[in-house]
């Protein structure tokens, strides 16, 4: 299969547009470094495009008609957007899904302590991280502290030029001889990964460094140490997304798994004009720890949101079978990042079935590991439809597996959506250094989704099964780009 280098296909005008899309993407990455921040940014962008909060419509008894745009967030950590189509809702939706949580280090519930004049926050890492990568780099603290009275205090330290940053220190090489003999997985113990946050005592008494920290917390956020009990504080690499490469061809940023798929999916749905089938964009939490929890994909929140959406449709008499048909007739691009081929680690890939940077969005018929275990295995009938849509939209794509057969593997949310009996395929964007504090993508891969959308020639086509599929899905698809990777499998 030929994989074109996207850069060799673009005109000057396309390159300019590519830079615009990537500038917007970088801004979204900078403002969305946690799942909560991503939901906030999504709502801001969606409302600017005329999306309304479904909760308000439900309260007011307002019905939805073709062309209406609505969203529903879930606990501020996951969100679903719908753009109503002209076709009956039970014909199904075109769904773009991705996750907005990323590997990171979380603060424990009782975190604050002092040892020999150094104040720390105790931590527990989140997702499949290589622990040693997080040592001795500037870190930022993002999240919320919720007080007993329900007041929510937002915290973000380490991102502004004038902010201090925080750090988890590594051992100096001079004293690291024994450490270096350890296996990488044991290189640093999870309990040694505490965040250094202070060194200046308040007074001459005992524990004066933590006392000063507590006073600062009181002064700046009006919180007590006890309030850590009900806080959700995430430690992420400090700093902005940057162009990467002497030729500015790539992006180096934190959390591109899976925000490169989430934000491109979002851009795509926000640009949609008229659609035949309902367009849906689903951005979920908790993928990196197995999609568990109320805001993760194993929760019923998506199904509940679709039920609410069906109920809001003017002229639709809601019942269980309408909801089931809506879900079963849907078609989804479940987007997550794919492991980009890295020549430095050639031996873990099988080149003919690997994803390459700047070769376009990636489709993964299956993910999983060790005999496709745990994978959603997309139907060739569906893949054939996607090939047709992509070709008509002039989009270059590639197919891949996550590494050599017996080397490892991964999984994403596709298999959880397949429980509804809908067509779904893993798709995504190729990433180098996935799950590292700083991950690399190609700006061409980010942009290719845009190209796909703009190449659309008509609003609706009929597929072989007789279901209307707007070209729009092709664009979505691109954006999503996808992936294969990660989550469940990474663990």
Residue 401 found at the interface with Mn ion (CB under 5 A) = no
In the complex, minimum distance from the CB of residue 368 to Mn ion, in angstroms, rounded to a whole number: 14
Secondary structure of residue 104 in the 3-state scheme: strand
By CB under 5 A, the count of residues binding Mn ion is 5
DSSP 64: B
The span from the first CA to the last CA of the chain, in angstroms, equals 31
Binding region for Mn ion (CB under 5 A) out of 110-118, 130-138, 231-239, 478-486: 478-486
In the complex, minimum distance from the CB of residue 267 to Mn ion, in angstroms, rounded to a whole number: 18
Binding region for Mn ion (CB under 5 A) out of 14-22, 82-90, 209-217, 258-266: 258-266
Sign of CA dihedral 335, 341, 344, 348: positive
In the complex, minimum distance from the CB of residue 192 to Mn ion, in angstroms, rounded to a whole number: 24
Task: Please give the structure tokens belonging to residue 178.
Answer: 């024994």
Task: Please give the structure tokens belonging to residue 201.
Answer: 């005592």
To which residue do tokens 């209406």 refer? Answer: 68
Neighbouring C-beta atoms of residue 416, cutoff 10 Å: 22
- 151 by Cβ neighbours in 10 Å (0-12 / 13-18 / 19+) ranks as exposed
In the complex, minimum distance from the CB of residue 209 to Mn ion, in angstroms, rounded to a whole number: 36
Binding string to Mn ion for residues 303 to 342, with x set by CB under 5 A, is what? ---------------------------------x------
Residue 73 found at the interface with Mn ion (CB under 5 A) = no
Task: Please give the structure tokens belonging to residue 38.
Answer: 């991503």
Distance CA 211, CA 226 (A): 13
Length of the chain (residues): 491
Distance CA 235, CA 195 (A): 9
**Of 87, 89, 262, 486, which one interacts with Mn ion (CB under 5 A)?**
486
Residue 101 found at the interface with Mn ion (CB under 5 A) = no
Residue 487 found at the interface with Mn ion (CB under 5 A) = yes
Residue 439 found at the interface with Mn ion (CB under 5 A) = no
Distance CA 403, CA 400 (A): 8
Binding region for Mn ion (CB under 5 A) out of 43-51, 135-143, 251-259, 467-475: 251-259
Whether 241 contacts 30, CB under 8 Å: yes
**Pick 283 or 486: Cβ nearer Mn ion:** 486
In the complex, minimum distance from the CB of residue 161 to Mn ion, in angstroms, rounded to a whole number: 30
In the complex, minimum distance from the CB of residue 440 to Mn ion, in angstroms, rounded to a whole number: 15
Residue 285 found at the interface with Mn ion (CB under 5 A) = no
Report which residue's Cβ sits closest to Mn ion: 486
**Pick 132 or 318: Cβ nearer Mn ion:** 132
DSSP 127-155: SS--GGGGTTS-EEEEEEEE-TTS-EEEE
**Of 73, 258, 445, 471, which one interacts with Mn ion (CB under 5 A)?**
258
Whether 196 contacts 166, CB under 8 Å: yes
Residue 257 found at the interface with Mn ion (CB under 5 A) = yes
In the complex, minimum distance from the CB of residue 257 to Mn ion, in angstroms, rounded to a whole number: 4
**Pick 231 or 241: Cβ nearer Mn ion:** 241
Neighbouring C-beta atoms of residue 283, cutoff 10 Å: 29
**Pick 291 or 329: Cβ nearer Mn ion:** 291
The footprint of Mn ion (CB under 5 A) covers 257-258, 336, 486-487
């Amino acid at each position: 299969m030929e994989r074109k280098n996207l850069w060799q296909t673009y005109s000057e005008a396309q390159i300019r547009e590519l830079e615009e899309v990537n500038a917007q993407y970088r801004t979204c990455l900078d403002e969305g470094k946690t799942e909560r921040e991503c939901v906030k940014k999504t709502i801001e962008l969606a409302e600017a495009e005329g999306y309304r909060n479904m909760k308000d419509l439900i309260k007011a008894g307002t019905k939805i008609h073709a062309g209406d745009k609505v969203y529903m967030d879930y606990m501020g950590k996951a969100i679903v957007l719908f753009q109503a189509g002209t076709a009956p809702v039970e014909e199904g939706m075109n769904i773009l899904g991705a996750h907005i949580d990323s590997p990171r280090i979380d603060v424990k519930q009782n975190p604050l302590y002092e040892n020999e004049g150094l104040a720390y926050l105790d931590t527990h890492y989140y997702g499949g991280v290589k622990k040693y990568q997080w040592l001795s780099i500037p870190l930022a603290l993002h999240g919320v502290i919720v007080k007993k009275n329900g007041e929510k205090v937002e915290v973000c330290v380490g991102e502004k030029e004038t902010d201090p940053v925080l750090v988890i220190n590594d051992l100096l090489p001079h004293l690291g001889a024994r450490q270096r003999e350890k296996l990488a997985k044991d290189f640093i113990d999870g309990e040694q990964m505490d965040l250094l946050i202070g060194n200046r005592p308040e007074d001459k008494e005992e524990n004066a460094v933590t006392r000063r920290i507590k006073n600062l917390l009181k002064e700046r956020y009006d919180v007590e140490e006890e309030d850590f009990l009900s806080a959700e504080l995430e430690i992420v690499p400090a700093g902005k997304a940057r162009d990467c490469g002497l030729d500015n061809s790539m992006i180096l940023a934190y959390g591109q798994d899976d925000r490169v798929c989430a934000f491109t999916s979002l851009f795509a749905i926000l640009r949609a004009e008229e659609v035949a089938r309902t367009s849906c964009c689903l951005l979920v939490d908790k993928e990196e720890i197995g999609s568990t929890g109320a805001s993760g994909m194993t929760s019923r929140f998506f199904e509940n949101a679709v039920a609410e959406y069906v109920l809001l449709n003017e002229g639709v008499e809601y019942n269980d079978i309408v909801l089931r048909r809506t879900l079963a007739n849907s078609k989804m691009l479940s987007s997550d990042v794919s492991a980009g081929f890295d020549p430095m680690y050639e031996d873990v890939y099988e080149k003919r079935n690997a994803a390459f940077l700047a070769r376009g969005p990636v489709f993964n018929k299956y993910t999983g590991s060790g005999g496709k275990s745990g994978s959603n295995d997309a139907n060739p009938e569906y893949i054939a439809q996607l090939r047709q849509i992509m070709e008509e939209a002039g989009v270059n794509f590639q197919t891949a597996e996550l590494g050599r057969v017996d080397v490892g593997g991964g999984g994403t949310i596709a298999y959880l959506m397949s429980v509804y009996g809908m067509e779904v395929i893993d798709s995504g964007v190729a990433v180098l250094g996935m799950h590292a504090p700083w991950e690399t993508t190609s700006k061409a891969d980010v942009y290719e989704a845009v190209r796909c959308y703009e190449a659309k020639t008509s609003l609706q086509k009929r597929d072989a099964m007789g279901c209307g599929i707007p070209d729009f899905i092709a664009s979505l698809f691109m954006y999503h780009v996808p992936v294969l990777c990660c989550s469940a499998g990474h663990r």
